[in-house]
Amino acid sequence: MTLKRARTRELASIYLMVSVPYLLFVIFVLFPLLWILRYSFYDYDGVRASFVGLRNFQSLMQDNVWWQAVGNTLILTFGGLALGTPLALLFAVILNGQLKGRVFFRTALYFPILISTAVVGVVFRIMLAPDTGIINGLLVGLGIVDKPIYILASAGTALLTLILIEVWQGLGYNMTLILAGLQRIPQELYEAAKIDGANEWQRLVFITIPQLGKMLQIIIMLGILNGLKIFDLVNVLTRGQPNHGSETMVTYIFNYFFEQEGYRAQQGYAASASIVACLIISLVAAIYFILSKKLGDHE
């Protein structure tokens, strides 16, 4: 009887530990998803709700600002990957060697990822200020420009600035992942390549990059998923301006859901945008996984 009670207590504790994650999933993931799905079919402003069917989705599909936000999100995502991944690989290869002070440089490059993205946005907003920003001071002091300029005044420079900041903050993290991959490459491969007369570039292209294939796939996957839901940096630094030129899917949804300046509270409309954004993210992720699988099959 005592053994049976002990077994019952053990099973109860196991079920309790297992049930907690499921309970948290239901409360913080499943319930909000069902709430969003329901109210995407309503004209809901936080107080009154009236059923409108697919009208929210129709309005969203006809909104040029939404499609601009989708395009900007893709530009920020793949622009950051195109610039950041090669840079992370370059720094990882350099700092993997016997470079003097490499520990300091690794730490310095990794440090930005430890800073809150919102704080990074505030700091760069101050640095980019036309009259008092340090960047304009340097540009004028070096004679590159005659007078202070507002770098975020056009959509092109705003997006480029966001990409550069995004790359700067994530560079050290990606570099660290690649460094971990470099440590696992057998040195015999490089020694054999040297004997065959391969130079450093050939060793990088034909040994290092192929051996890092899986790690690079992980970095790209994380970059895509994080890039498609970018919010903090854009909301703090540009607020989607100028003229929605740096608007992203998440800032678009945020503006309608929380009634930001120039927007009317439309939680139902924001819910429909959330569903479409989720579908777009899922589609891009699925395409990437399919391409990765095909690439892996050819290796």
**Domain boundaries of the chain, sorted by first residue:** 2-39, 63-298
Is the pLDDT at 263 greater than 80? The verdict is no
What per-residue confidence (pLDDT) applies to 146? 83
Confidence of residue 2 (pLDDT cuts 50, 70, 90): low
What per-residue confidence (pLDDT) applies to 1? 52
Q: Cβ distance 260 to 254 under 8 Å?
A: yes
240: amino acid identity, one letter: G
> In the CATH scheme, what architecture does the domain 63-298 have?
Orthogonal Bundle (1.10)
Is the pLDDT at 290 greater than 70? The verdict is yes
What per-residue confidence (pLDDT) applies to 299? 55
Q: pLDDT, tens digit, for every residue of 111-129?
A: 999 999 999 999 999 999 8
Q: pLDDT, tens digit, for every residue of 265-278?
A: 788 999 999 999 99
Q: Which residues contact 39 (CB under 8 A, 6 or more apart)?
A: 49, 267, 268, 271
Report the percentage of the chain scoring pLDDT > 90: 46
* Three-class SS state of 44: strand
- Measured CA to CA, the distance from residue 232 to residue 230 in angstroms comes to 7
pTM given for the model: 0.87
Q: Cβ distance 74 to 281 under 8 Å?
A: no
Q: Which residue is associated with the tokens 């970095």?
A: 219
68: amino acid identity, one letter: Q
- Measured CA to CA, the distance from residue 45 to residue 48 in angstroms comes to 6
